[in-house]
Amino acid sequence: MAANAQSAEHRPAQSILIVDDVSANLQVITRQLEARGYVVLVARSGLEAIQRAELTHPDLILLDVVMPGLDGFETCRRLKQRAVTRDIPVIFMTALTATDDKVEGFRVGAVDYVTKPLNADEVVARVATHLTLDALRQQLQSSNAELQQLTAALRRSNAELEQLAYVASHDMQEPLRMVASYLQLVAQRYGDRLDADGHEFIGYAVDGAKRMQAMINDLLTLSRVSTKARPFAPTDCAKCVSTARIQLQVAIAESGATITTDTLPIVQGDPTQLLQLFQNLIANAIKFRGELAPQVHVGAQATEEGWHFSVSDNGIGIAPEHFERIFVLFQRLHGRNQYPGTGIGLALCKRIVERHGGHIWVESAPGRGSTFRFTLPRAAAKG
């Protein structure tokens, strides 16, 4: 409280420019405002008001409507056309009470009006209110500017990180290929000199190098969600699912999976990434199957925000405590001997959905299958 009081004591007094050609009005309002600590400036014509406002930049202007020369409406219009005075709140003082006059006042940029003959208490109250509102507006503008700067910095940082990940991953490919190739060459040329442990150790090393290559390839795929993204366009989700089924036909045949769909819509998106999205979710449903042949259903429902999709299966399910974890990069719930892969598929799905302005989540229970749900925007209307 003491700090606030000290801050208020050192805060500069707010200035009010009163524009009126009648001396009596100026004296009454000036006394009331000065008594409350405001600094009062005076102008007796529209041109003088514009000049003084540009020079002193008051916190608020009380502007008479009916004046010789420039009337209040034209004065306000000119103030709002100048960058230096555009944001100063203007309150009209007027004896005009017709609705058209009030509308005209707001149209040229006033924030309020007080009716003559003036009530000093009302004028002071309206001045205080609009000074407070203007201070809040300035704070909001400042906060928005800071937020825009932070957003721009975050975008630059993300772009740099994605580029770094792409370059680093790409450059790591060749050394890993060399390690795996030479280890295999050692096994071929000197296999008769190695005992069982030697062959086992080389096998572990080659397997580790190949797994690292798979992780790097997945990182490259993840980084390309932004670095190699295509512009959004109307995309037929039915065609995406159809193509995904063709690319997964070996897994579908081996597992005996059945894939069914609702009538799927056309959405606004990146066709390549939406194909990846559906293919990963269907592949997951097939991979994490139970004893029964996989039954996978792709559904879609229109909502006010866009489209709500679902990919449901009858697989092994997921415990609720793992719902968030499964969307994290390289997170696995099962050993590699049980289910192959690097654990990047759902992280990729999340990145793709978020790039499209949607969100993704899962509903599941162990032994009862899973339903992955996500939202996508509608296709742009033709016009």
What's the CATH number where 44 sits? 3.40.50.2300
Residues 365 and 287 in one domain: yes
**Residue 190 included in any domain:** yes
CATH number of the domain residue 271 falls in: 3.30.565.10
Distance CA 246, CA 207 (A): 29
CB 231 within 8 A of CB 269: no
CB 127 within 8 A of CB 89: no
Return the structure tokens found at 369. Answer: 């299958």
Tell me how long the chain is.
383
**Residue 130 included in any domain:** no
**Residue 128 included in any domain:** no
Residues 209 and 245 in one domain: no
CB 43 within 8 A of CB 19: yes
**Residue 65 included in any domain:** yes
Classify burial at 280, counting beta carbons within 10 Å of its beta carbon; exposed 0-12, middle 13-18, buried 19 or more: buried
Sign of dihedral through CA atoms 192, 196, 197, 199? positive
Strand partners, 61: 17, 90
> Does residue 3 register a pLDDT over 60?
no
Which pLDDT score, from 0 to 100, does residue 185 have? 85
**Residue 249 included in any domain:** yes
Distance CA 308, CA 291 (A): 29
Residues 131-143 pLDDT 10s:
999 989 888 888 8
Distance CA 230, CA 225 (A): 9
Residues 211 and 240 in one domain: no
> Does residue 350 register a pLDDT over 80?
yes
- For residues 369-381, average pLDDT: 84
Which pLDDT score, from 0 to 100, does residue 279 have? 93
Residues 64 and 97 in one domain: yes
Residue with tokens 């608020």: 60
- For residues 104-110, average pLDDT: 91
Q: Which of 227, 258, 288 is the last residue of a domain?
A: 227
Residues 339 and 258 in one domain: yes
User: How far is residue 353 CA from its own chain's centroid?
Assistant: 13
Residues 198 and 268 in one domain: no
Q: Which of 93, 118, 143 is the last residue of a domain?
A: 118
Residue 186 domain boundaries: 153-227
146 falls in which pLDDT band (50, 70, 90)?
Answer: confident
Lowest-pLDDT range of 57-61, 189-193, 359-363, 364-368: 189-193
259 φ, ψ (degrees, to nearest 5): -115, 120
6 falls in which pLDDT band (50, 70, 90)?
Answer: very low
Residues 172 and 74 in one domain: no
Looking at per-residue pLDDT, the higher value among 10 and 75 belongs to 75
Lowest-pLDDT range of 3-12, 241-250, 324-333, 335-344: 3-12
CB 382 within 8 A of CB 363: no
What residues contact residue 263 under an 8 Å CB cut-off, 6+ apart?
Answer: 238, 300
Which pLDDT score, from 0 to 100, does residue 221 have? 66
Query: What's the structural domain count of the chain?
Result: 3
Residue with tokens 């066709």: 271
Q: Which of 227, 242, 276 is the last residue of a domain?
A: 227
Classify burial at 349, counting beta carbons within 10 Å of its beta carbon; exposed 0-12, middle 13-18, buried 19 or more: buried
Has this prediction a pTM greater than 0.75?
no
**Residue 30 included in any domain:** yes
> Does residue 159 register a pLDDT over 80?
no
Residues 222 and 341 in one domain: no
List the one residue out of 314, 317, 333 whose CA is nearest residue 325.
333
Residues 223 and 249 in one domain: no
Mean pLDDT of the chain: 84
Residues 253 and 359 in one domain: yes
> Does residue 38 register a pLDDT over 90?
yes
Distance CA 265, CA 309 (A): 10
**Residue 177 included in any domain:** yes
- For residues 166-184, average pLDDT: 74
Residues 216 and 186 in one domain: yes
DSSP 45-100: SHHHHHHHHHHH--SEEEEESS-SSS-HHHHHHHHHHSTTTTTS-EEEEES---HH
Residues 170 and 243 in one domain: no
- For residues 65-84, average pLDDT: 93
**Residue 141 included in any domain:** no
What residues contact residue 173 under an 8 Å CB cut-off, 6+ apart?
Answer: 213, 216
DSSP letter (8 states) at residue 326: G
